[in-house]
Structure 1
Amino acid sequence: MKFRVERDVLAEAVAWTAKSLPARPQAPVLAGLMLSAAGEELVISGFDYEVSSRSQLAAQVEQEGTVLVSGKLLADIAKALPNRPVEFSTDGSKVQLVCGSSRFTLQTMPVDEYPALPQMPKAAGSIAANTFAAAVAQVAVAAGKDDTLPFLTGVRVEISGDTLRLVATDRYRLAVREILWKPETPELDAVALVPARTLHEIARSLTGGEWVTLALSGTDKDEAGQGLIGIEAAGKRTTTRLLEGEFIKYNSIFPSEFAGEAVIDTAALIEAVKRVALVAERNTPVRLAFSTGQVTLEAGTGDEARASETMDAVFEGEDISLAFNPGYLLEGLSALDAPFTQLSYTTSTKPAVLTGRPAVDAEPDPAYRYLVMPIRLTG
C-alpha cells in the first residue's frame, strides 16, 4: 500500500475516527484504526462492537491496500506533523510515514482479526447539522448516568412524519425537544433509544457539514432496542447499537394544568443560582420564594453558611416557595437558550416545568420543555 494525503485533512479525519475507540478494548486489535486506500480515496475506520466510525477523504493512491495500526498513536502523530503532505507506505509488517523531514515507523496489527464494520442502516431522513447538535445537547443533560439502569442513560428518538422528538430522563428531571426534519417517507413512524453520551458526542462532532442524515434499523415501536442508528455527514459515518428496555410513559408526567407561573430573566437567574449555591452543601437545595414582582433565592440552613439574593420576576398569585437541586436547575436553565424563563408549577411538591420565552410578554416556546422535580422542604 502506498498513498499521499494532505496533513490537515488526515489529522482531522484520524482524530474524529479515533474518538470512538475504547479506552479498555476487549482485544488489542480493537484499539486500532483501519486504513484502506483504493481509487482516489482513503477510508479510516474504527469499531469496538458497539460504536463504529468511518471517515472518507481524498488521497493520491499509488498502490491500493489495507493496514491496521494503533489508533491513539496515529492520532498523536498526525496532530504533531508539520504542515506538509503525508506519505504512507507498507514495508512488510510495518508502515512508513513520511512528512517533510519527519519519519515514523509503525507496527501493524493483523487485519484478518479485525471485525467487519456493521452496514449502514436505511436512511430515515435528514436535518440541519447545527439544529440537530443543539437539540441533542438540550435533552442529553437530563439523561441518567447510572449504567445499572441502561434505558435511563439513553435519548429516546421518536419520528412521526416530519417531526423528530428527542426525550431523556433520569427520573429527577425530564427534557423533551421537538424539531422539524426531512423524512425519506412522509408516513415514517419509528422510535429508537440511543446511548445519550454517544449521541451527544457524535452530534457535536458533525457540525462541520450543513446536513446530517439519520439511518435506522429495527426501530418499529414494538422493536425498540433491536437495531442500529447510523449518522452521516460530510464524509463521516458512524453507527451505534440501540439500548434495550421500555422507556417511561413520559407524557403523563407533565402536569395537565398549572396553578401559577413566573417569568424571569434567564441569564440573571443562572448567575444568581450559581452565587447562592456556593453555600449549598451536597444534596441540599436552593430555595426560590416567589412573591409579587420578585423571587428570593436562598441556600444554607441553621448555623451553616447561608446566602440569599432577591431579583425581579413577573409573578402574580399566592406566595410560594419551591426548592430544587441547584445542579439540575442550572442545567435546565442553560439548556433553554432563551432570554427569559417561564417556570410553571402546581404545588411545592409536584413537578415544575421550565420553558423559554423570547420576551417577557411573548408566549413560551413549547418546542423545548424541561421538567424538574422539586425537593420536599422539611420543617
Structure 2
Amino acid sequence: MVEFRVERQKLAEAVGWAARTLPSRPALPVLAGMLIEATEDGGLVLAGFDYEVSAKARIDADVAEPGRVLVPGRLLSDIVRNLPPQPVDFATKGSEVVVRCGSAEFGLQIMPVEDYPTLPSPPARAGTVPGDVFAEAVAQVTPAAGRDDTLPMLTGVRLDLEDDTMWLACTDRYRIAARELTWSPSESGFEAGIVVPAKTLADTAKAIRQGDEVVVDLAGAADTLVGVESGGRSMTTRLLDDQYINYRSRLRGDWTTEARVRTAPFVEALKRVALVTERNTPVRLAFSAEEVQIRAASGDSARANESQSVRMTGNEIDIAFSPQYLLDGLAGIRTEWARLQCTGPTKPALLTGIPDRDADDENAGDPQDTTEDTGFRYLLMPIRLNN
C-alpha cells in the first residue's frame, strides 16, 4: 500500500525531473516506469533510470501509508502536467494506482517494482559551485558539443577540476567553447578530468533553480560515474572516455588583429544578413579601422550587406564564418562588448567577452582597455574564401 497527498506544482516539477531519463525505447519494460517511494518522515522520492542516467527528486508530502510503487512514467508525466492547481491524492487500490485531483481521477496499472533495477548511489562529494554560475557555464559551452555518436568523446563536456578552478569545454572539431570558473572543492588539491554526456548535463543545468547550490559528486579521475545535486534533485550518469584534446593550449595565440564590437547590435546585424544564407553559406566580415562590413549572398538569388562600428587594432582582415557557429559563440557572451581576435583569414579566431565597466565609470559605454575576459572563450575555424 502507498498513500499520500502532495501539492500539484511540486509534484509536476519532481515528475518532470525524473521523467527526463525515461527511455523512449526501453531495453526492459520496467525501465519505462517511474519509481515512487513515500517515506515515513513525510518525504516523496520520484526516480527514473535507464542504466546510463538516473534522475531523482525529493519533495515533501503528507504520507498516510509509506511504500514503493512503479507506474508508467511518461503517462504519469502527461497526467500530472495537465492536472488542475489543486492537491493531488495518490493511493494504491488493487492492481492500480488511483490519482485524484479535484474532480479528475485516473487509474494507472502498477508495474512490478521488484523487477526494477537498483538505482546507482552517487560517488563521494567532490565540491560545490553556485548554481547560476554552473548553469550559465553549461549553457555557454554545450552548443559546441558534437552530434556524431560515432565519436562519443566529442558529444561530451570535458570537466577539468584543479583545486579551486573548474574548466568546462566542448568541441565538434570546428570550434571550441570553454568556460573557466571558481568552485569550492571538498578537499584542497582535488584534481580530476572527466567527460560527461553533453545532453545530460545540459538538461540538468536547465532545471537548476535560481539561488540553489550545485553539489558535484565524483570520487576521482578513475571513477566511472558522476553525480550532480541541487535543490532536492539529483542525477548520476556514466562517464565517457576521458581522452580529450588539449583545448586550453589552443585558446592562446599571438593575435595580429583585435576587433571590439557591441555584442547586441552585432548579433542583430548577423541575424539579418544570415537571412539570405543557405546551408554551408558563410557570412563574410571585412574589418577596417572603424567598421566591419557584414556580407552574405546566395548565388544570384539574394544578397545582404550591413555595417557596424568597431574599435580595431592591428591588421585589417576579411574573414568568413558559419553564421550559426558565430551566433552560438556570441550567445555565450553576456557583456556589452565582445572581442574578436585572429591572425589571418584561414586561422582560428577567438571570441571573448570584455568585462563591463562600473555604472559610475566616467567612460561607461566604452570597452575597457584590458586583456581580461569573463572566463568564456570560443575558438572558431573560419571558412576559406574563394575570392
TM-score for the superposition, normalised by structure 1:
0.95
CA distance in 2, matches of 1:252, 1:210: 33
SS in 1 for 2:180: strand
Residue 385 of structure 2: aligned partner: 377
SS in 2 for 1:141: helix
Residue 9 of structure 1: aligned partner: 10
CA distance in 2, matches of 1:300, 1:77: 49
- The match for 1:46 among 48, 60, 81 is 48
CA distance in 2, matches of 1:107, 1:216: 37
Residue 344 of structure 1: aligned partner: 341
CA distance in 2, matches of 1:112, 1:195: 29
- Which region of structure 1 is more displaced relative to structure 2, 193-202 or 95-104? 95-104
Matches within 5 A, 1:29-178: 29-39=30-40, 40-178=42-180
> What's the CA shift for 1:90?
1.3
Letter in 2 for 1:276: V
Residue 361 of structure 1: aligned partner: 368
> What's the CA shift for 1:235?
1.0
* Matched-pair contact (CA < 8 Å) for 1:33–1:70: yes
* Matched-pair contact (CA < 8 Å) for 1:293–1:316: no
CA distance in 1, matches of 2:156, 2:260: 31
Q: How many correspondences in the alignment?
A: 374
Residue 266 of structure 2: aligned partner: 269
* Matched-pair contact (CA < 8 Å) for 2:48–2:54: yes
> What's the CA shift for 1:189?
0.5
Letter in 2 for 1:32: G
User: Is there any run of 5+ residues in structure 1 with no aligned partner, and where?
Assistant: none
* Matched-pair contact (CA < 8 Å) for 2:257–2:317: no
* Matched-pair contact (CA < 8 Å) for 1:209–1:233: no
* Matched-pair contact (CA < 8 Å) for 1:264–1:312: yes
TM-score for the superposition, normalised by structure 2:
0.93
CA distance in 2, matches of 1:208, 1:80: 25
Letter in 1 for 2:383: I
CA distance in 2, matches of 1:242, 1:316: 43
CA distance in 2, matches of 1:301, 1:95: 59
% identity of equivalent residues = 48
Letter in 2 for 1:68: L
SS in 1 for 2:92: strand
Residue 278 of structure 1: aligned partner: 275
CA distance in 1, matches of 2:87, 2:300: 66
Letter in 2 for 1:4: R
- Which region of structure 1 is more displaced relative to structure 2, 226-235 or 150-159? 226-235
- Which region of structure 1 is more displaced relative to structure 2, 237-246 or 82-91? 82-91
Residue 363 of structure 2: aligned partner: none
1:296 aligns with 2:293: yes
* Matched-pair contact (CA < 8 Å) for 1:158–1:164: yes
| CA offsets 1:204-249 (integer angstroms, 9 cap, x no match) | 10225520101014x42xx4xx511101111111111111151112
* Matched-pair contact (CA < 8 Å) for 1:291–1:316: no
Letter in 2 for 1:256: G
| CA offsets 1:58-100 (integer angstroms, 9 cap, x no match) | 1222222111001111112212223332222112221122223
User: Is there any run of 5+ residues in structure 2 with no aligned partner, and where?
Assistant: 357-365
Query: CA, structure 1 residues 176+107, in 2 after alignment: closer, same or farther (shift >3 Å)?
Result: same
Residue 234 of structure 1: aligned partner: 231
CA distance in 1, matches of 2:172, 2:129: 27
Residue 308 of structure 2: aligned partner: 311
* Matched-pair contact (CA < 8 Å) for 1:123–1:215: yes
